[in-house]
Structures are given as structure tokens and as C-alpha cells.
Amino acid sequence: MSVQVVLELPEEVFSALRRTPEAFVIEMRLAAAVKWYEIGMLSQGKAAELAGVSRQEFLASLARFDVSPFQVTPDELAQEWQRE
């Protein structure tokens, strides 16, 4: 099941971003998925689903946004290191 969301934006947005409305929607879904993954709101799988891409494509896209594919904080990493 899917839900359609209607979003009204000024036409100037598309020319400023040099995107067609269709390309803008694809990019917006990916950007939202990456951000929500980055802050821990979504798993990789759910983020890929939101972006409308495979998990592999989503992981490859993370580099473009300079986001690590690993959701580990420095404190968590230090705790892991101390356990070993």
C-alpha cells in the first residue's frame, strides 16, 4: 500500500535546482531517507524503501551525502573497544 502526498512548491525551485519536478521528487525522497538514516530514525532497509531504491543503491548514495553507512557513535565504538 502506498499513500500519495501532494506538495506545492514555487516553479522557481525546480529551475534553481536544475531539476524537473519528477527528478526533484526522486532527489527529495533520497535526501530525506539519507538524513533520517543519519540521525537514526530509519534503518538502512527502511531508508532504502523510502528512497525507492535497493539497499545496495542506498548504501552507495550515502557517500554522495557524506554520510557513514555505520550507525555507531564514538562512545559506542569506545565501549566496544574496551570490551575486547
pLDDT at position 75, please? 80
Asked whether residue 52 is assigned to any structural domain, the reply reads: yes
pLDDT at position 65, please? 96
Asked whether residue 5 is assigned to any structural domain, the reply reads: no
Q: How many domains does the chain have?
A: 1
Residue 72 has pLDDT above 90, yes or no: no
Give the pLDDT confidence of 2-54 residue by residue, as tens digits. Answer: 899 898 989 888 888 898 999 999 999 999 999 999 999 999 999 999 999 99
Asked whether residue 45 is assigned to any structural domain, the reply reads: yes
* Residue 65 domain boundaries: 11-83
- Output the CA–CA distances (angstroms, integers) from residue 18 to 10, 22, 27, 75, in the order listed: 13, 12, 12, 41
Asked whether residue 65 is assigned to any structural domain, the reply reads: yes
Asked whether residue 6 is assigned to any structural domain, the reply reads: no
Q: What is residue 69's DSSP assignment? A: S
Do 40 and 14 contact (CB within 8 A), yes or no? Answer: no
pLDDT at position 79, please? 83
Asked whether residue 42 is assigned to any structural domain, the reply reads: yes
